[in-house]
Amino acid sequence: MFSKLEDLEKKCKQLEGLLYDPEVVCDQEKYKKIMKEYKSILPVVEKYQEYKKALKTIKQAKELMKSEESEKELRQMAEEEFHEAKLAAEELSFEIKTLLLPKDPDDDRNVIIEIRGGAGGEEAALFSSVLYRMYNMYADSKGYGAEILSLNETELGGFKEVSFIISGEGAFSRLKYESGVHRVQRVPETETQGRVHTSTVTVAVLPEAQDVEVDVNPLDLQIDTFRASGAGGQHINKTESAIRITHVPTGMVVECQDERSQHKNKDKAMKVLKSRLLEKKRKEQDDEMAQERRSQVGTGDRSERIRTYNYPQSRITDHRIGLTLYKLENILGGDLDELIDALGAADRASKLTSYPTDDFTDKF
């Protein structure tokens, strides 16, 4: 572990030097590549340097504590300094181990989110639109872009299903824990006796696939055009701009009718199809690796109930980590950071238990 940290420290200095090299500065592609690598290891190196300072302080304090020549007051000060530095070193060792955890290669990608109404009929469809708004407002707060890929509305303004892409660095890393069944408990607008109903919505979160990762044979595709249907829009039912793509080998079907242009709808549908095929490919690999890559926070399985939104109590509970917050309105307004940060922390903690690291404390 320590040899790895020393190597990272040396590498960081080398990269820092290259960033000031005139030849590198003039080559923008090379400069960006080096800067990305430098930024990725800098946080670890900075924590390691703090850790080494804490170890140095511990060593000096121990020498003063043992010295017979030191005055009693000086030894007491050294003892306080020793305990403070030891505590700091323990905290830094945990932070370093966390930073050294293998990074999810998909974390920096754009993310495709698919929301579908489950049990509850129209009420489930209405809550699907609420969740779409929540993710859209969260994306806006983070400076991400959001674009609808496919939408199937109901007459009351709910969404039977909606697919959309959120674009921005780290979008997948922030939203990857949202896959699963979201349960809502509230009094529907159509309920005359004030009874609380329970409905469910399924959410699937996919990293956007790159073309080089998924090779789709055009001969495996059945592409149909049809007239768009749904609420609103002057072009509805007038032109055959909607696209349905069927991937024959897997039976996957993707529809897109949000754009007026048939070409744009086809491009959007292909994005969703490729991302689903990538998810299927990785799930098969995960199954072969028997849980090795799956998060302990949740499998990402869309059949797993992950969260309950209780309107009467203004309560939201994430069942995977046992977290309950009484700020439903804020969260549905896009303030998801507290939830996402807690899920990320739980995920890292679970991975630390199985990730082999040296015991830092033997250095004290």
- pLDDT (tens digit, 0 to 9) for every residue of the chain, 364 residues total? 778 899 999 999 999 999 999 998 899 989 999 998 899 899 999 999 999 999 999 999 998 888 776 678 888 888 999 999 999 999 998 888 888 887 888 888 899 999 999 888 889 999 999 999 999 999 999 999 998 988 888 888 899 999 999 999 889 999 999 999 999 999 887 676 778 899 999 999 988 877 556 778 888 889 888 876 655 444 444 556 788 899 998 889 988 887 778 888 888 888 888 888 888 877 776 664 444 444 445 544 556 789 999 999 999 999 999 999 999 999 999 999 999 999 998 988 888 776 555 555 556 5
Residue 332 and residue 309 in contact, taking contact as beta carbons nearer than 8 Å: yes
Domain 111-349 part of CATH 3.30.70.1660: yes
Q: Which residues of 244-272 are buried (b: 16+ CB within 10 A; e: fewer)?
A: bbbbeeeeeebbbbbbeebeebbebbbbb
3 state SS of 310 = strand
Give the domain ranges of the chain.
2-100, 111-349
Of 228, 230, 222, 223, nearest in space to 261 by CA: 228
Distance CA 346, CA 349 (A): 5
Q: What is the value of pTM for the model shown?
A: 0.68
